[in-house]
Chain A
Amino acid sequence: MLKTHPTPARGPVGESVARLDGQEKVTGAAQFADDIQFGPGLLHARILRSPHAHALIKRIDASRALALPGVRAVVTGEQTPGYIGLYLQDRHIFCRDRVRYIGDPVAGVAAVDEQTAEKALDLIEVEYEPLPAVFDPVAGTRPDAPLLHPDLGQYEAVNFIFPKPNTNISNHFKIRRGDVAGAWAQCAAVVEREYRVPHIQHVPIEPHVAVAKWDEKGKITLWASSQSPFAQRNLIAKALHISQSQIQVVAPYVGGGFGAKAGVSMEALAVVIAGAVKGRPVKLRLTREEEFFTTFVRQGLVARFKLGCDTEGRLLALENTYYWDAGAYTEYGVNMTRAGGYSGTGPYDVPNVSVDSICVYTNHPVGGPMRGFGMPELHAGLEQAMDDLARSIQLDPVEFRRRNCIRGGDTVATGMTMHPTGLPDCIEQAAAAINWGHKAPPSAPTKRRGKGFAIMWKAPAMPPNAGSSARVQFNEDATVTVSVGGQEIGQGTFTVMAQMAAAALGVPYEWVKVAGPVDTDYSPYEWQTVASRLTWSMGNAVKAAALDARRQVLEMVAQAWKENPDDLDIVNGQVISYKTEEARSLKDIVIYGLPNPDGDGWIGGPVLGRGSFMPTYVTGLDAETGQGPRAVVHYTTGAQAVEVEVDLETGKVEVLRGVAAFDVGKAINPEMVKAQMEGGLVQGISTAFFEGLKLKDGRVQNPSFVDYRIATAADAPPQVEAIIVEVAQDDGPWGARGIGEHSMVPTLPAIANAIYDAVGIRMDAPPFSAEKVFMAMRQAGVVQ
C-alpha cells in the first residue's frame, strides 16, 4: 500500500497555466521527426503500391530496379512472412500473395535520394490477377460476396473480438437486452432511418514520416511521428519475431495525429526496408496524397436505426444495425466496431435494446482510429433520428433528451451501472446558452435560420488492461523532471502532466518539465496516446509517481526533524511543519539527502518517484448479448447546440453560433479544455460540410487539398461558447476525464438538426455541401 500522506489541493491543477511547449512551437524551435538530421548516410525510401482494389500477385521482378544506380535495396512481401495488427493480426507489412486496396504496399525501395527511389518504382514489374472486389459493407456481408481474407479463421485475435471465418465479417458485436420485438407494440411512435457516413481522413498538418535503422547486431531504432511508440515497438517486434528490447522507438513532437499516427501503419515499411541495408538509416516520408489513403482513414458507416417511444416521449426500444466499411485490413478497426456496439445506444436510457455492430472487410483504404473512434459516425444518424422521433410526437427535441438521457445510477445497455454524470446539466446549459426555443430573424430575405441540438457519450476504447506509468525525479535545484511515454500531439498533455506533478508534489508549475522526446528505451511504458485517455490514465500514473516522490521527501525530513510525516507538507517548493512551523527548501536535499540526526552519515538520497496505473475493473461482455458488469472505465458526456443560416440561393449553410458543454469531471487546465471544445466543434463543422473521400471503384478521387476541403478559421463560427461541467470521476486524477475526442462527436448531427429546423430537409449522408443542401431543398419544393 502506497502511503501518500495528505494530498495538497492547491494549484496549479484547475488553473489555465501557459502551455509547456508553447514557446518552442511558436518560435519554430520544436523538433519534429523530419527535422532530425542523419548525415550523408541517410537513404530514402519510396513505396510501390497496388493499382488494383483486389488482385492476386502472380509475380514480382525487381531486377531492373536493383540495377538502377543509386538503388540500395528492394524489398517485397517475401521479406515479411509474419502478420501484424493491434487487435487482429490480419496483414503483412508488405503484401505477399494478394493486394486488397488501391495503395496497398507491394514493394519498397531504398536509394540515395527520393528521386532515384521513385524512378526505381517504375522499374519493378508486378503481374497481377485482378479479382472481384467489395465496395459496399452491406453487400460485403452477403454469402456470395467475394472473400477478401480466406484465412480469417487462422488470424490471431484478442479475446474480445469475434471474427467469422469464411465471411468478410471480422467482428460482430451484439447487444440483446429486454424484449425489443415485444416493445414496438407499446410505442406511440416509431421511426426507422438509414444514414451513410463517408470515409474521411485525419489530415494532420505533418504527414507521416519514419526513419529506421538496423545496427549490425540487429538492434532497430525507429524515429517516427507517432502517437504510439510502445505499441509500435510491440507490434513490429511481434511481426518480425524478435524481442521488444531489440527495438527502440524515438518519437519527438507530433504535428497532429487525430488517431492517424496510432497503432502501426507505414512505420513498419520503413523498418523492413532498413533491414535490407543494415547500418544505414532509411527515411520514408509520405506525400500528402499518400497521407489521404495509405495510412488510416476513418471507416465509412451504413447505419440503420429503429427507435420507439411512448406518448410521454420515453424511449422504449431501440434496434440499431451498424455496417462498418472497415477497409482492406481491420486490425485496428475491429475495436472501433466493438466500441460502436457497446456504446451503440448513444447516451440514452432505453429498456429494450438490440444492437448489431458489424465490421466488414471492403476493398477500400484501411479503416483506423480517428478522433471519436466510431462515435461521430454513429451519433451522426442516431441524433437525427432521435430528433425525428421527438418531433413525431410533437415533443421539443431538448425536452426529449432531458427525459431520456443517461443519468448516474441508470443501467446502460451492456448492464453496467452508469457512474455520476453531468449530462443533464450539459443539456440545460447548452440549451440556455443557445437561447433554445427562440428563433431570430434571418439576415436577409433569401436566408432561413434554424437551431439544432445533439448530445453524446464516449468511453475510452481500449483493451481492459491498457496501462500507464510515470517517473518523477528531482534535480539539485528542486526542479522536477517528469518522464512519461504518452505523446504530446498538440493536445497539451505535457502541460497537464506538469500541472498534476506540481500539484501533487507541492512545487510551482514553472519548476516542472516533461522529458522529451518519448523514447521507449528511456521513457516509462504507455500503451498509446489515444482514446482521450492520457489526462485520466497517465494522469493517474503521474499523480502516483509525484506522491511517491513526495512521500520519500516527507519521510526523510520527518526523520531528520524527528517529526511525524503527517504533520509535514510541501508548499511552494518548501517542506514545512504544521507542528513546529519549521521550513526548509527542497533544494539540494532532494538529491544529497540530509545529515543523519542521530549520528554520523546521511539519510535520504536522490528522490525518484514511480507510479503506474492500469484499470483492473473492466470486465468481459457476453458474446451473444453484450452483457457484463463493466464494459468500460467510464463515459464522458456532453451536448452541443448550433444556430445556422441557410442561403436559399446557393444552399450554403453558415454556422452563426456554436455552444459546447461537456462534463470533464475536473478541468485540469480550463483554457485548454475549452480549446479542445472549440477545436472539436470546428472539426465537426468541417466533417459536416466539406469532408469525404470520394471513392470510385476503390480509388480515392480527391486525395489532395484541392478537392478534399477542410474548414479553415474563416469557416469557424464567429461565436463559440465552451461550457465546462464538472461531475468528478471516481477513478480519475482530481476527478478528471478525457475531452479530446468528444468535442467533435455531436457537431454534425446538431448541424443537421439545425438545417432541418431552418428549411425542413433531411439528407441521408454528409457532407452537407451547398450543392447537396440546395438540391435537397429543390426536391422538397423549398426553392426553385
Chain B
Amino acid sequence: MVTAHPGLPEFDYVKPASLAEASRFLAEHAGAARAFMGGTDIFVRLRDGAWQAQYLVDVKHLEGMQALSFDPAAGLTIGAAVNLNRINAAPSVREHYPVLAEAAGTVASYQLRTRATLAGNVCNASPAGDTLAACLVLAGQVSVHGLAGPRQVALKDFFRGPGKTALQPGDVVTALRFPLPPAGYAAKYLKLGRNTLGDLAIVGVAALGYREAAAAAGLRFRVGLASVAPTPLLLEPAALSAGPVDEAALTAAAEAVAAAAAPIDDVRGSAEYRRLMVRNLARQALTEVWRKIAA
C-alpha cells in the first residue's frame, strides 16, 4: 500500500446499555462490528486499512469493566477496561503480581498506556503482546460474556494464532482473572526491544518459579514467551523439574525453551537472533527467579 490514509474511515459508534445487548449486537453484526476499549490498536488498524469495522461497540462503561480488585482467597480481577497505567500502579498488583505490573509498564508509551487495556492486549492476540507472557505464567483466565452468558477461558487455551483467539461472535471479554500465585514464588519479565522506550518486543520472556515439595527438584518453573511463535507460548522446562536445579540445568532449560520457540524473520529481527535471545533471556530470567526462590 503506497498511499497511507490521512484519517479514519467512517464508522458508527454504538453504546449498548448492557452486556447482553452488547453480545447481541456484536453477534448480529459479526464481521462488521468490533468491541471497543482503549482504541490504541483499533484506530491505527482502521486507518491503515488492515481492519474494517462498520460499528465500534463501546463496552468500557459496562458493569465491572472498570473494576480492579484483589481477594486474598480468590486472587486478582482486572476489569477489561482498566488501563495499563492503573494496573502498573495498583498496590495489590505490585505486591502480589509484580511481574504483571512490570510487563504492563513495558507496553508502548506512558501516554498510550492511559488508554490501552490488558484485555485489549490479550484480545488482539499479537504474538508480540508484551503482557501476554506474564499473564500466561500467572495462569490467567479470561472472563467472557457471550450470547449464552458468562464463561471462563483459560489463557493458555485462548490464543489460536496471530490475531486469532477462542472468542466467538457475540463474545465480550469482561475481565482478566489471576488465581493466587503459589506461596513464595518469584517471577521476572525481560523484554528486548530495539530502543529503550515504546518499542514492540523482538523477544519477551517471562519466568516464574516456586517451591513445590512434589517436584523432584523441589522447585517448579514456568516460562512464557512473546514474539517468537504464532502465539505466545507457555512452557514448563523439564530440565528444571527432573533433577537438582543448578546452572547447568538452567542452561539446559534455556536451550530447551529456545528450541520450543518458532520465530520468524521480519523487519524487526531475524529468526536466528530471536532464538538466541530466547535462550539468553530465558537463562537470565530463570536464573534470577531461581536465586530468589532458592535463597
Contact = CB atoms under 8 A, between A and B. Distances in A.
Interface of A: 46-51, 102-103, 114-115, 118, 121, 285, 287-290, 649-650, 652, 689-690, 694, 701-703, 706-707, 709-715, 769-771, 774-775, 778
A118 B199 contact: no
Given A650-B277, A771-B270, A287 B194 contact: no
Nearest 10 CB-CB pairings of A with B? A289-B4, A714-B196, A287-B4, A714-B197, A771-B273, A649-B280, A712-B197, A709-B195, A709-B194, A114-B6
B6 A712 contact: no
B111 interface: no
Contacts of A287: 4-6
Interface of B: 2-7, 9-10, 192, 194-200, 202, 267-270, 272-273, 276-277, 280-281, 284
A269 to B, nearest CB: 14
Nearest to A294: B2
Contacts of B5: 118, 287
B196 A715 contact: yes
A710 B109 CA distance: 14
Contacts of A771: 202, 269-270, 273
B43 to A, nearest CB: 14
Q: Which of B3, B200, B267 is packed against the most chain A CB atoms within 10 Å?
A: B3
A715 B195 contact: yes
Contact of B267 (A114, A707, A714, A715): A707
15 contacts: A47-B3, A114-B6, A287-B5, A290-B3, A290-B4, A649-B284, A689-B194, A690-B195, A701-B267, A709-B195, A711-B195, A712-B197, A713-B197, A715-B196, A770-B194
Contacts of B281: 649-650
Q: Which of A47, A649, A774, A778 is packed against the most chain B CB atoms within 10 Å?
A: A649
B280 A650 contact: yes
A192 B18 CA distance: 72
Contacts of B196: 712, 714-715
Nearest to B192: A650
A102 B269 contact: no
Given A714-B196, A715-B196, A48 B267 contact: no
Contacts of B199: 709
Given A649-B284, A701-B267, A771-B269, A115 B7 contact: yes
B2 A285 contact: no
A114 B273 CA distance: 42
Nearest to A704: B4
B159 to A, nearest CB: 21
Contacts of A715: 195-197
Contacts of B194: 689-690, 709, 769-770
Given A690-B194, A712-B196, A707 B268 contact: yes
Contact of A118 (B6, B198, B280): B6
Contacts of A701: 267
Given A703-B4, A709-B194, 11 more contacts: A118-B3, A287-B6, A650-B281, A707-B267, A709-B199, A710-B195, A714-B196, A769-B194, A771-B202, A774-B276, A778-B276
A706 B2 contact: no
A102 B2 contact: yes
Given A114-B7, A649-B280, A771-B273, A51 B2 contact: yes
Contacts of B269: 771
A51 to B, nearest CB: 5
A694 B280 contact: no
B3 A49 contact: yes
Contacts of A46: 3, 6
Contacts of A706: 200
Q: Which of A46, A289, A290, A703 is packed against the most chain B CB atoms within 10 Å?
A: A289
Contacts of A652: 192
A652 B5 CA distance: 35
A770 B192 contact: yes
Contacts of B202: 771
Contacts of B200: 706
Contacts of A713: 197
Nearest to B194: A709
Contacts of B195: 689-690, 709-712, 714-715
A463 to B, nearest CB: 35
B267 A702 contact: yes
A759 to B, nearest CB: 16
B6 A50 contact: no
Given A650-B280, A715-B196, A770-B192, A775 B2 contact: no
Given A649-B280, A714-B197, A121 B267 contact: no
Q: Which of B2, B5, B198 is packed against the most chain A CB atoms within 10 Å?
A: B2
Contacts of A50: 2
A601 B88 CA distance: 78
B94 to A, nearest CB: 21
Contacts of B192: 650, 652, 770
A694 B194 CA distance: 15
Contacts of A694: 267
A48 B3 contact: yes
A690 B194 CA distance: 7
A712 B195 CA distance: 8
Contacts of B10: 115
B256 to A, nearest CB: 16
A289 B49 CA distance: 13
A396 to B, nearest CB: 32
Contact of A288 (B3, B4, B9, B198): B4
B14 to A, nearest CB: 21
Contacts of B2: 49-51, 102-103
Nearest to B193: A709
Nearest to A700: B2
Nearest to A115: B7
Contacts of A710: 195
A718 B70 CA distance: 38
B11 to A, nearest CB: 13
Nearest to A285: B6
Contacts of B197: 712-715
A100 to B, nearest CB: 14
A714 B280 CA distance: 24
B42 to A, nearest CB: 15
A713 B273 CA distance: 27
A12 B53 CA distance: 60
A71 to B, nearest CB: 16
A296 B200 CA distance: 27
A713 B109 CA distance: 12
Q: Which of B202, B267, B272 is packed against the most chain A CB atoms within 10 Å?
A: B267
A153 B260 CA distance: 60
Contacts of A712: 195-198
B291 to A, nearest CB: 14
Nearest to B276: A774
Contact of B3 (A121, A649, A689, A769): A121
